[in-house]
Amino acid sequence: MSASEPHETGPPAVPASAAPEAEAPVTTASEAPIATQFLAPDETFDDNDSAIGEDSLSSTASIASSIFKFRVENGRTYNGYGDRTYFMPNDEIERDRLDLQHHLFQLMFGGKIFTAPIDRTKLHRVLDVGTGTGIWAIDMGDAYPEAEVYGVDVSPIQPQFTPPNVKFEIDDLEKPWTFSEGFDFIFSRMITGSFANWKEYIFRCFEFTNPGGYLELQDICLPIHCDDDTLKGTNLEKYGELLLEGSVKLGLALNSALTTKKLMEEAGFVDVVEVIYKWPLNRWPANKHMKEIGLWAHEVTISNLSGLSIALFTHGLGWRIEELEVFLADVRKDMKNSRIHSYWPIYIVHGRKPAVAKE
């Protein structure tokens, strides 16, 4: 748990919608890894000197015992709550990956855990949707002891010992919400693929956000991107396209972040800001800070590459597990190749509910 308080303000980031058109590649861009920033590759980087490894990184008492009976498939466990199953596993490998991912977001934000301009004096109730291991909710509870923080997920994989102001609940928020009160801040991170109807989810967030409160969504967007031609024709390019195709066929498109800003504005949020960051898939950038982000993004991706892929490829695309593992071996090679300048686009969008409702 983090003892430090997340900063509510920081170095200004450039909204994607307001980014100037670049006349030529800029190699002296700021440390902020926004998508409008040109990332120069490190031409001297040697993969043999890399610290990047292979795929090796390794509720409460009232919850019915049936919730803990996880479904097992292809040697991985998945949530057994309700009438649907999230495509990502919930076993120890995935829990470790989620905690690594939390560190990566803090690294990207310079220690912060959210970007919305929250007024601390007005922060009383916080909701973390898709809390996972609960690490974000716990850090939030530590930093804001005067606020009640609720973490909700379909899998009971959160720790039993938490700050007194943090509570975890097992629920499926794709179904009608039953909260008796609204929230001053609703937050979700990396839950693309969790909701079949993102418009319904965002409109529901607006309904349960208190006047003057904020919603912030942080999510990845497929497919894998590249600003030059080094990704073209690679297994990695094919992997990103197939991953997206599988998710679309399952009705859980992993490019939902493309419409987040528009849907938030339609729901009624104002001052909506969208910033698109880059997570290089290895240490190919010349920029030192981005090289470190690339190291962590590589580990976050490759440490559970099979878990990320199995359901989408077997259920969505009809692949056999043996066929998938052979393909993933080639994908891992491309992910480690510093000559391939690939990255994940990461969309950060926040908006405020007006203090006075519109007529």
Convert the pLDDT of each residue in 222-239 to its tens digit. Answer: 999 999 999 999 999 999
Q: Higher-confidence residue: 84 or 110?
A: 110
pLDDT for 320-333, tens place per residue?
999 999 999 999 99
The owner of tokens 């803090």 is: 106
pLDDT for 200-212, tens place per residue?
999 999 999 999 9
Task: DSSP letter for 162, please.
Answer: -
Residue 49: pLDDT band (50, 70, 90) is low
Helix (H) or strand (E) holding 270: strand 270-280
The pLDDT of residue 24: 39
On whether the pTM is more than 0.85, the answer is: no
Residue 313: pLDDT band (50, 70, 90) is very high
pLDDT mean across residues, the chain: 83
* Residue 13 backbone class (left: φ over 0; alpha: ψ -120 to 50; beta: rest): beta
User: Percent of the chain beyond pLDDT 90?
Assistant: 62
Is residue 152 within 8 Å of residue 129, measured between CB atoms? yes
Token representation of residue 225: 């991107």
Residue 219 has pLDDT above 90, yes or no: yes
The pLDDT of residue 159: 85
The pLDDT of residue 25: 38
Residues of 319-356 as b/e, b for ≥16 C-beta within 10 angstroms? Answer: beeeebeebbeebbebbbbbebbbbbbbbbbbbbbeee
Q: Higher-confidence residue: 73 or 290?
A: 290
pLDDT for 283-296, tens place per residue?
999 999 999 999 99
Q: Higher-confidence residue: 170 or 276?
A: 276
The pLDDT of residue 182: 97
Residue 4: pLDDT band (50, 70, 90) is very low
The pLDDT of residue 79: 45
The pLDDT of residue 354: 97
Among candidates 345, 319, 299, 347, which has minimal Cα distance to 99?
299
Can you count the helices (H) and strands (E) in the chain? 8, 10
Residue 160: pLDDT band (50, 70, 90) is confident
Helix (H) or strand (E) holding 151: strand 148-153
Token representation of residue 277: 């960051």
The pLDDT of residue 48: 58
Token representation of residue 207: 């309904």
The pLDDT of residue 47: 65
Residue 185 has pLDDT above 90, yes or no: yes
pLDDT average, residue stretch 142-167: 91
pLDDT average, residue stretch 243-262: 95
The owner of tokens 């007529």 is: 359
Residue 61 has pLDDT above 90, yes or no: no
pLDDT average, residue stretch 257-265: 98
The pLDDT of residue 286: 97
Token representation of residue 237: 């390019």
The pLDDT of residue 321: 92
Task: Sketch out the chain's domains with CATH numbers.
Answer: 71-353 (3.40.50.150)
Q: How far is CA 305 from CA 302, 330, 342, 355, in A?
A: 5, 12, 16, 43
Residue 308 has pLDDT above 70, yes or no: yes
The pLDDT of residue 358: 55
3-state secondary structure at position 348: strand
Q: Higher-confidence residue: 276 or 85?
A: 276
Is residue 79 within 8 Å of residue 71, measured between CB atoms? yes
Residue 35: pLDDT band (50, 70, 90) is low
